[in-house]
Amino acid sequence: MADPFPCPGGHGTDGTYSVRLVLRRPAPGTFTASRKTFVIASKPALVRVHLDKAPVRTAERRVRLKVGASKHRRATVGRRAM
C-alpha cells in the first residue's frame, strides 16, 4: 500500500516540520506563499481516565473525571454523550 502522505527527503520520521506552501492564483503570474508547520506522529496518544470512587446515581448531572495523556498530546477534548 502506498504511503498516504509521501514526504520527500526522509521526512517520514516522527517530528515537527516546516514547509513553504505556494498557491497559484487564477490571474496569470500571481501566487500566495506562506510558511506552515506540520507534525508527524505515528503513535496515538495514550489517554487515561479516572473516575471518583464515590457512587454516582443516574439522576445526577455531574460526574468528576480526571484525564491525563502522554506528554506529546497537545489537546484533549471531551463531550457529553446523549
Domain boundary assignment for the chain: 9-40
- Give the SS3 label for residue 9: helix
Residues 10-60: pLDDT tens digits?
Answer: 556 778 888 898 898 888 889 999 999 887 777 777 888 888 787 777 777
Residues forming beta bridges with residue 16, ordered by sequence position: 39
* d(C-alpha 54, C-alpha 56), whole Å: 7
Sequence-distant (6+) residues with CB within 8 A of 3 are 12
Greatest CA separation found in the chain? 68
Q: For the whole model, what pTM was predicted?
A: 0.41
1, pLDDT greater than 60: no
| Predicted local distance difference test score (pLDDT) of residue 7 | 60
- Give the SS3 label for residue 37: strand
| Predicted local distance difference test score (pLDDT) of residue 68 | 85
Sequence-distant (6+) residues with CB within 8 A of 46 are 69, 70
